A and B are shown apart, each in its own frame.
Chain A
Amino acid sequence: MDLVLQLLVNGLVNGSHYALLGLSFGLIFGTTRITHFAYGSLYALSAYACWWVTAKLGLPLVAGFAAGIAAGAAAGLLSYGLLYRPFERAGSPPLVILIASLGLFIVVENAIGIVFGTDTKVVPSPPASLFLVGPAAFTSVQLAQLGALVVIVLGLWLFLSQTRFGRAVRAQTDNPEMATIIGIDTVRLSALVFALGSAIAAVPACLILVKDGGTAYMGFLAVFMGFVAVVVGGIGSLRGAVAGGYALGLVESLGLWKIPSEWQSTIAFVVLFMVLLFRPQGLFAGRQ
């Protein structure tokens, strides 16, 4: 029973991580309808920025996170302005934009590898403390992963419901045509969403860097899990993306109860297959 409880805790922690990925990927995808595959390598870039500032410059972790978030926002903005926007202006079909995104993904991933090498990057982390909740244990990083989700979800909710820009984002997600008709500047909006989504993605990236270290290839799993969380939850729904992330984390972790750990990542994909076969609109989508 203790094992199940610990697996549950781990599932919640990993679920928070996937939920953040789903939230940030889904924000960009839902609003702009761009399959931003390069999300993965921008995620890795943020982690490397954090590593550079803390391990190379010796600044505290807070500064590293700030650098990671800033790098993420800047890279997101640039990727929209320099890559996606020109394609949009040329009227390219979604497929072409997706292929271009794959191109950017592989360019950034390999550029990171060439500049920084392929070894695992670690940051001088604060002494890990262990928190006990009954028989289950949390490390401080795990607690931070849970907390980050709560803070970001609250912040994003406030932003989307209280600000003019946030309401425009929601309008754009619900009905892009209508958004254009009522005079929302969709280009500025997309740029903002790319910056915001990439900035949010930087947080789980930096947390994983502290927890497991970072490599040039860390981005693939991030974009993949973010994408899966969005599809499992239901495209176009941020609530669904968070729920999808938790569903993935929990299923994956509880699966370990009976399944050897090397198959852990495969469980998520089986979930995805099942969802697409039997409930293609997503588990948590309120409307089609």
Chain B
Amino acid sequence: MDYILHVLVMVALFAILATSFNLLIGYSGLFALSHAAFFGIGAYATAIVALKLGLPFPIPLLMGLAVTAVAGVVVALPALRISGDYLVIVSLALQVIVIAVMLNWTGLTGGTDGIRGIPRIQILGASLDTAAKFLPLAVIVAALCYWGSWRVGASPFGRALKAMRENEAAAQAAGKNIVAMKLAVFAIAAALASVAGSLYAQYVTFISADSFTLELTIYVLAMVILGGTGNLAGSLVGAALLVVLPELLKFVDLPPDIADKLRQLFYGVLLIVMLRLRPQGLLPESASAHHYLAPAVRPRVDRPIAAAALEGRGLEKRFGGIVAVSKLDLALAPGRITGLIGPNGAGKTTAFNLLTGFIEPDAGEVAYRGRLLKGLKPHRIVRLGIARSFQDLKLFTRLTVLENVLVALPRQRGDHLAYVYFTPWAVASEERANLGRAMAILEFVGLQQRAAEPAADLSYAEEKLLAVARLLATDAEVLLFDEPLSGLAPNTLREMQPIFRRLADSGRTLAIIEHNLDVIRELCDTAVFLDEGRKLAQDTPERLMQDPVLAERYFK
């Protein structure tokens, strides 16, 4: 009986590890191999505080939590500017350093002997010295941790994490501060792992570096993959299965060493087989919002506003020796559609990147409403009201159409963890209103029927519409469209053009990069001709196209 209760305690502890790891890899796409290290830091910090300072529960746990959250941020720091492979190696390095500290800082950690005789948790004078007495605490803490992860996962912040996972540039273009998000999710995941470590230390009363190796991270990884990435309930299932199933090996007569290796071999095989046959896991990721919950109120999408002109002055950008943009002056007038035309490589997209902060100009400045945008990150510029779309769309393909729009809505309280945790009701009512806004935008572009579909399942024309919808969701006054109409059939073109006209007529500032001169002629009030990074001319489309020199250049 005690044995079964012990297994249940371990299920509770691993449930904490698996759900917090899922926040990192499943929700955020941040693949860090340092979860065992976070678990270990929590355990060692607790052991040292409880044993050497003799402080009572929950002080050791809280101190472990603080130390580990800092360690989480330390891993995230070098990974902020760069991601993917670099994060893997940095987190692995942290894992190795943590083990080295455990083994070598003998005075503090006991070195290879580990730490023995860690005091048990005392609650109301009772010592939790058996599995039966420990289990209620483990379950309560695990439930709290699950709630903590679930609040993050189910909130608009969690949706923003998934958007960041799908495409970082597009998440920035949707106004998300991805640096702050990465730091926050690392701190939370690390802190939760440390809670598991803290309980573990005071439960087993003996810890050593062997318990916190990379193998443990792979074990937890197997739980997350089995249960389903991006689904926290899946991680509970994965943890339960992978704690209980290997226990069955105990009933086979094997030397413990071999049994241990067989278990690990099984986790490895499980990882590969799951990824081949069912990469979404037992419980796949589900949508975070549903169109049928949207209120009937639909705010008007093209409500009149008074935008201002966006001005770029003397913009210069070189890549290596190549001049991408040179002495470029652009003034995009409000209520107008400005077309950017010119041959491939003329610097049109670079101009958009410069205007929206995705790249810093070597010289020149961008001004909006009398304010210089110098040095502002893309998400700050979006919040000031200047947004752009991408030529290659960069949709959040594994999110639904509705989620793609929702995530880009501006000024969401749900993007801030303080609101998510402390005023969940305010976040929920805001979310309801936002559902109405998102559906209004989808109706505006004509995608409301597809709201519940994953963006990956859209047709080419629908993808183009969704890119427009997501841009509108930012509520920006200045809208920069990078080839929103390229490759569309003529009848689709005719259906989409009025969208841009209505937006300009409502007072917004629009710019469109487009190769199809007929579209430019029908849609644009003025057109800028770029070639080799320079502005050669600006005039009405009609007059520009009559210029034989430009025509020559364009069709050369």
A113 CB contact (under 8 Å) in B103, B261, B275, B320: B261
Indicate which residue in A94, A106, A227, A270 contacts B215 across the interface (CB closer than 8 Å). A106
A238 contacts chain B at the CB level, 8 A cutoff: no
CB neighbours of B262 from chain A (8 A): 110, 114
Interface, chain B (partner A; CB < 8 A): 25, 29, 31, 33, 77-79, 81-82, 84-86, 88-90, 92-94, 96-97, 100-101, 103-104, 214-215, 218, 221, 225, 257-258, 261-262, 264-265, 267-272, 275-276, 279, 320
Which residue on chain B has the smallest CB distance to residue A83?
A: B272
- In chain A, what residue has the closest Cβ to B101? A266
Min Cβ gap B360→A in Å is 15
Verify A107–B268 contact, CB threshold 8 A.
yes
Partner of A106, one of B88, B96, B97, B267: B267
A87 to B85, CA, bound (A): 18
CB distance A280 to B264 under 8 Å?
no
Q: Which residues of B contact A95 (CB under 8 A)?
A: 25, 29, 31
A263 touches B93 (CB 8 A): no
A-B contact pairs, 29 of them (CB 8 A): A35-B85, A83-B272, A94-B84, A95-B31, A96-B275, A96-B279, A100-B276, A102-B271, A103-B270, A103-B272, A104-B268, A106-B264, A106-B267, A107-B272, A109-B264, A110-B268, A114-B258, A220-B214, A227-B92, A231-B86, A262-B104, A269-B97, A272-B93, A273-B93, A276-B79, A277-B77, A280-B78, A280-B86, A287-B320
Is residue A235 contacting chain B, with contact meaning CB distance below 8 A? Answer: yes
The docked-state distance in angstroms from the alpha carbon of A122 to that of B130 is 45
Q: Is A148 an interface residue (CB 8 A)?
A: no
- Please measure, in the bound complex, the distance between the C-alpha atom of A98 and the C-alpha atom of B92, giving whole angstroms: 13
Give A87 to B275 CA distance when docked, in angstroms.
9
Expressed in whole angstroms, the Cα–Cα distance for A22 and B271 within the complex equals 27
Bound: A262/B82 CA distance, A: 31
Q: B89 contacts which of A83, A92, A272 (Cβ < 8 Å)?
A: A272
Task: Please provide the 8 A-B residue pairs with the shortest distance between their CB atoms, ordered closest to farther.
Answer: A103-B271, A107-B268, A106-B268, A276-B78, A269-B93, A110-B261, A103-B272, A103-B268
The interface residues of chain A lying within 8 Å CB-to-CB of B267 are 103, 106
Q: Are A273 and B29 in contact (CB under 8 A)?
A: no
Question: Which residues of chain B are near A92, meaning CB under 8 Å?
Answer: 275, 279
CB distance from B71 to the nearest CB of A (A): 13
The chain B residue with its CB closest to the CB of A260 is B104
Nearest CB of chain B from residue A172's CB, rounded to whole Å: 17
- If A103-B218, A110-B264, A227-B88 are given as contacts, then 6 extra A-B residue pairs at C-beta distance below 8 Å, sorted by A number, are A29-B85, A100-B271, A100-B275, A104-B272, A107-B265, A272-B90
Which chain B residues border A276 with CB–CB below 8 Å?
78-79, 82, 86, 90
Q: Given A87-B275, A92-B275, A96-B275, A227 and B268 touching (CB < 8 A)?
A: no
**Chain B nearest Cβ from A43, distance in angstroms:** 16
| Given A118-B257, A263-B100, A269-B96, also A280-B268 (CB < 8 A) | no
Q: Chain B residues near A110 (CB, 8 Å)? A: 261-262, 264-265, 268
Interface centre among B25, B81, B264, by most A CB within 10 Å? B264
Complex CA–CA separation, A143 to B81 (angstroms): 41
**In the bound complex, how far is the Cα of B279 from the Cα of A96, in angstroms?**
8
Which of the residues B31, B90, B268, B276 comes within 8 Å of A273, measured between beta carbons?
Answer: B90
Complex contacts, A147 vs chain B, CB 8 Å = none
In the complex, per-residue mask of A65-108: 1 if CB is within 8 Å of any chain B CB, else 0: 00000000000000000010011001010111011101111110
Interfacial chain B residues near A114, Cβ < 8 Å: 258, 261-262, 265
CB of A84, distance to nearest CB on chain B (Å): 11
Q: Are B78's CB and A277's CB within 8 A? A: yes
Q: How long is the Cα–Cα vector from A177 to B104 in the complex, in angstroms?
A: 47
Q: How far is the CA of A109 from the CA of B86 in the complex (A)?
A: 24
Q: What B residues does A107 contact at CB under 8 A?
A: 265, 268-269, 272
B82 proximity list for chain A (CB < 8 A): 276, 280
Residues of B within 8 A of A96 (CB): 275, 279
**A224 to B269, Cβ gap below 8 A?**
no
Q: How many angstroms between the C-alpha atoms of A86 and B276 in the bound complex?
A: 8
- Nearest-neighbour CB distance to chain A for B22, whole angstroms, equals 13
A103 to B85, CA, bound (A): 17
Instruction: List chain B residues, Cβ under 8 A from A104.
Output: 268, 272
Interface centre among B89, B267, B279, by most A CB within 10 Å?
Answer: B89
List CB contacts (< 8 Å) of A92-146 with chain B.
92, 94-96, 98-100, 102-107, 109-111, 113-114, 118
User: Considering the chains assembled together, what is the distance between the CA atoms of A231 and B93 in angstroms?
Assistant: 12
